Amino acid sequence: MKKSRLDVWNRFVAWSRFTAACSLLGSVCPGILAAEPTPTPVTEARELFNGQDLTNWYRYIKDEGKENDPAGVFTVRDGKLCISGEKLGCITTHEAFENYRLIVEYRYTGAAIPPRENRTRDCGILLHSVGKDGAWNGTWMYSIECNIIEGGAGDFIVVGDGSENYAVTANIKDEKSPKGCGIYDPNGKPHTINGGRIDWWGRDPRWEDVKGFRGVQDLEKPIGEWNTIEVICDGNTITNIVNGVVANRAYDVKPSCGKIQIQSEFAGFEFRRITILPLEKTPSGK
């Protein structure tokens, strides 16, 4: 049957709208068209960690793979998620999320594992995780990290492939850190990165990668005491709040949805709460 010019035009318009929608969706959450799970709506408070097991998570250990943790890097004891830090790896949510608040309560156990036995104790929350397990250095999915490290809790790190698909923009001070990183300043100038980090506003310029480092303005409590980090993921913005104080904010974040990972990085940590909640009209923190 011969198609009329109107039929051809209508098909062209329909296809153009479809491709435009796909392009927009891909820019919001890169990879979602490539077998990424559809984000689960967050409509009520929910405990992602139930204090008994890792029902909502799966383990991934470098050089061991998915759900293969012979060294027991991630275990649950006495209602707490215990991370030995013996190997690089993570636990990852089965589900993807967008537009939510995440509240995490954690503490340093004090353990520091070779090859970082004399280095700062390090962990992190990887947000908007997409793509393959272990895509980054055989360990983590591509993601945006809210850092947990001595002296640097609340830093942003882009854990990506260096492309424009992974980025954060934040307002930063005119001067950079001694390591060449931007330092968050709510009244500063916009700065975009596709890799590396943006330090929280109070990171000590004397920071060194040595065990036990503590800066003058650090927001974390001493080793062994419980800390609270709240992360607000609202559209393409992320706000990191450490013990009630806004430490860092980013916008134009790519991707803006995905899974959540908790890292193991050669240091001992315990988590007693990992709660996901709907967004509030007024963010928490000072």
pLDDT value at position 36?
80
Domain that holds residue 1: 1-30
Answer yes or no: do 39 and 17 share one domain: no
In a domain, 282, yes or no: no
pLDDT band at 1 (very low <50, low <70, confident <90, very high): very low
What does the pLDDT look like over 194-221, one tens digit per residue? 999 999 999 999 999 999 999 999 999 9
In a domain, 189, yes or no: yes
pTM (2 d.p.): 0.88
pLDDT band at 37 (very low <50, low <70, confident <90, very high): confident
Answer yes or no: do 6 and 115 share one domain: no
In a domain, 286, yes or no: no
Answer yes or no: do 129 and 10 share one domain: no
Average pLDDT over residues 240-269: 99
Answer yes or no: do 262 and 158 share one domain: yes
CATH number assigned to the domain comprising residue 236: 2.60.120.560
Per-residue burial over 119-150, b if 16 or more Cβ lie within 10 Å, else e, is bbbbbbbbbbbbbebbbbeebbbbbbbbbbbb
In a domain, 48, yes or no: yes
Average pLDDT over residues 101-127: 99
Answer yes or no: do 183 and 170 share one domain: yes
* Mean pLDDT, all residues of the chain: 91
The count of structural domains within the chain is 2
List the one residue out of 277, 275, 261 whose CA is nearest residue 74.
261
pLDDT value at position 181?
97
What does the pLDDT look like over 6-24, one tens digit per residue? 454 555 445 555 444 444 4
Answer yes or no: do 6 and 111 share one domain: no
